[in-house]
């Protein structure tokens, strides 16, 4: 069976054509102003992200936890809580449920990693972009542009190419080479820009203003959050509908953290979980920590972080349009925003690989470093269950050299081996 047929059958098993939707409207995340569903939207009139709202009472009558459990364990099992109406608009590369992997040596007995690197294109960006692209297709979008630090552009290129949407991607000039080539190989036009991701975003915004393309920047369309919230839905189901004590999430634009917080509220409204929530830890690098500074300063909006730098490119985001949503979730949960150094990140990646055999990406390493910091500072206890998000496969990132060589034509010192 081909991968294409596998993905197609996975989707068809979890969706029926022209299904009733439970989406009622979209809502400004700042003002609460309502916007009509089934129309193309960017930011709200207030310049803030739009959130998709559902008739959860009706959804709860249409599906149960038991019905969800009986379905194939992919992203589309959550169809009643997703915005896509028609099977014909779905674009899929096989979005599996990602595993929970213990790391007892590097993390401890109560630490597990949700390994998002198993998703198509090797990162959790697939969750958000598959949903956003499907909705763009449904709403008639034919050309998309996006700024990226790498993995989001790769996911966009893959899904947009699959359904015939033209894509232009702008990335900082020091974006990892493998990401740039991956984006190009999967059908997008990719441009390196001598700046950071928000400089790339300014180019995208100006082109959108001129009517050249639709702006797919983080949170500037409503549906990436809906794809990312499946991390929270999935985690709840995997843990028997009991959430962990703490979640450590690598935070750049913060879509996934915002999405999970939204997912938990929806699950409670359905009666599938109780009011307990994990402490949400927004993890940044100390070379780019605008959310951490805003949290520590007790403000709701973060200032742009100047001269941003870190080995964890995915969280090198100097300014996030959803900053107030990230901060609200962290504060409401009793969590914290934490910054870790590049040295701590590198050490965590090395420890997880050498002690537990799990190759984390740098952003995933940041969550392990932050967990260690939280443990040392008494923010959580060793007995508390904690989930760390590894947002991409470590195979996409540079690794230390391994230069040992053996000349088979000479006597071999087996003791040395």
- Kindly indicate the confidence band of residue 19, based on its pLDDT and cuts at 50, 70 and 90: low
* Sequence ranges of the domains in the chain: 3-79, 101-107+111-122+229-396, 125-215
Mean of per-residue pLDDT scores for the chain: 94
- The H or E element containing residue 134 is helix 125-138
Phi, psi (deg, nearest 5) at residue 282: -85, 115
CA atoms within 13 A on the CB side of 290: 25
Burial of 187 (0-12, 13-18, 19+ CB in 10 A): middle
- Give me the helix-helix angle, 342-356 and 362-376, nearest 10°: 100
416 three-state secondary structure: coil
Choose among 332, 271, 220: nearest CA to 61.
Answer: 271
**Range 22-28, long-range pairs (CB < 8 A, 24+ positions):** 22/54, 22/55, 22/56, 22/58, 22/59, 22/62, 22/80, 22/81, 23/52, 23/53, 23/54, 23/83, 23/85, 24/53, 24/54, 24/55, 25/53, 26/50, 26/51, 26/52, 26/53, 26/222, 27/51, 27/53
Average pLDDT, stretch 21-43? Answer: 95
How do residues 56-83 score in pLDDT, each as one tens digit? 999 999 999 999 999 999 999 999 999 9
Average pLDDT, stretch 371-375? Answer: 98
Which residues pair with residue 388 across a beta bridge? 113, 248
Amino acid 87: pLDDT: 86
CATH topology of domain 125-215: Rossmann fold (3.40.50)
Which residues pair with residue 245 across a beta bridge? none
Q: Say which residue the tokens 């699959």 belong to.
A: 162
Structure tokens that stand for 121 in this block: 């294109």
Burial of 283 (0-12, 13-18, 19+ CB in 10 A): buried
Choose among 263, 342, 249, 243: nearest CA to 291.
Answer: 249
CA atoms within 13 A on the CB side of 118: 14
CATH topology of domain 101-107+111-122+229-396: Rossmann fold (3.40.50)
CA 356, chain centre distance (Å): 24
Amino acid 12: pLDDT: 44
Calpha distance 57→192 (Å, rounded): 47
Choose among 45, 39, 113: nearest CA to 83.
Answer: 39
- Kindly indicate the confidence band of residue 10, based on its pLDDT and cuts at 50, 70 and 90: very low
- Judged against a pLDDT cut of 60, whether residue 120 lies above it is answered with yes
100 three-state secondary structure: strand
- Kindly indicate the confidence band of residue 18, based on its pLDDT and cuts at 50, 70 and 90: low
- Kindly indicate the confidence band of residue 21, based on its pLDDT and cuts at 50, 70 and 90: confident
Judge if 101-107+111-122+229-396 and 125-215 fold alike in CATH terms.
Answer: yes
264 and 285 in contact (C-beta within 8 Å)?
A: no
How do residues 292-351 score in pLDDT, each as one tens digit? 999 999 999 999 999 999 999 999 999 999 999 999 999 999 999 999 999 999 999 999
């Amino acid at each position: 069976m081909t991968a294409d047929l596998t993905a197609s059958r996975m989707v068809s098993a979890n969706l029926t054509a022209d299904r009733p939707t439970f989406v009622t409207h979209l809502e400004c995340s700042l003002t609460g102003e309502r916007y009509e569903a089934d129309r193309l939207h960017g930011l709200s009139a207030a310049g803030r992200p739009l959130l998709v709202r559902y008739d959860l009472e009706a959804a709860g009558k249409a599906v149960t936890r038991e019905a969800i459990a009986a379905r194939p364990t992919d992203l589309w099992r959550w169809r009643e809580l997703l915005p896509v109406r028609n099977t014909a608009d779905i674009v899929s590369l096989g979005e599996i449920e990602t595993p929970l992997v213990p790391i007892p040596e590097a993390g401890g007995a109560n630490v597990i990693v949700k390994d998002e690197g198993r998703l198509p294109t090797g990162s959790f960006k697939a969750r958000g972009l598959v949903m956003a692209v499907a909705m763009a297709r449904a709403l008639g979008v034919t050309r998309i542009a996006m700024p990226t630090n790498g993995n989001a552009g790769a996911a966009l290129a893959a899904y947009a190419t699959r359904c015939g949407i033209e894509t232009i991607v702008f990335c900082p000039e020091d974006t990892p080479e493998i990401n740039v080539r991956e984006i190009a190989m999967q059908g997008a036009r990719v441009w390196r820009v001598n700046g950071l991701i928000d400089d790339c975003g300014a180019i995208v915004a100006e082109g959108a203003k001129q009517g050249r393309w639709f702006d797919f920047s983080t949170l500037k369309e409503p549906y990436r959050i809906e794809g990312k919230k499946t991390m929270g839905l999935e985690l709840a189901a995997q843990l028997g509908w009991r959430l962990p004590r703490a979640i450590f999430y690598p935070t750049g634009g913060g879509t996934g953290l915002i999405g999970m917080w939204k997912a938990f509220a929806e699950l409670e409204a359905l009666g599938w979980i109780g009011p307990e929530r994990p402490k949400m830890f927004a993890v940044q690098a100390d070379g780019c920590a605008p959310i951490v500074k805003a949290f520590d300063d007790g403000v709701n909006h973060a200032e742009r972080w100047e001269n941003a730098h870190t080995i964890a490119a995915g969280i090198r985001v100097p300014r996030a349009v959803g900053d107030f949503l990230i901060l609200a979730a962290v504060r409401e949960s009793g969590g914290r925003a934490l910054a870790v150094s590049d040295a701590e990140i590198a050490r965590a990646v090395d420890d997880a690989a050498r002690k537990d055999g799990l190759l984390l990406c740098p952003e995933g390493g940041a969550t392990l470093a932050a967990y260690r910091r939280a443990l040392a500072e008494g923010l959580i206890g060793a007995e508390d269950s904690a989930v760390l998000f590894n947002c991409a496969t470590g195979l996409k990132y540079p690794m230390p050299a391994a230069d040992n060589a053996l000349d088979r034509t000479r006597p071999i010192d087996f003791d040395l081996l």
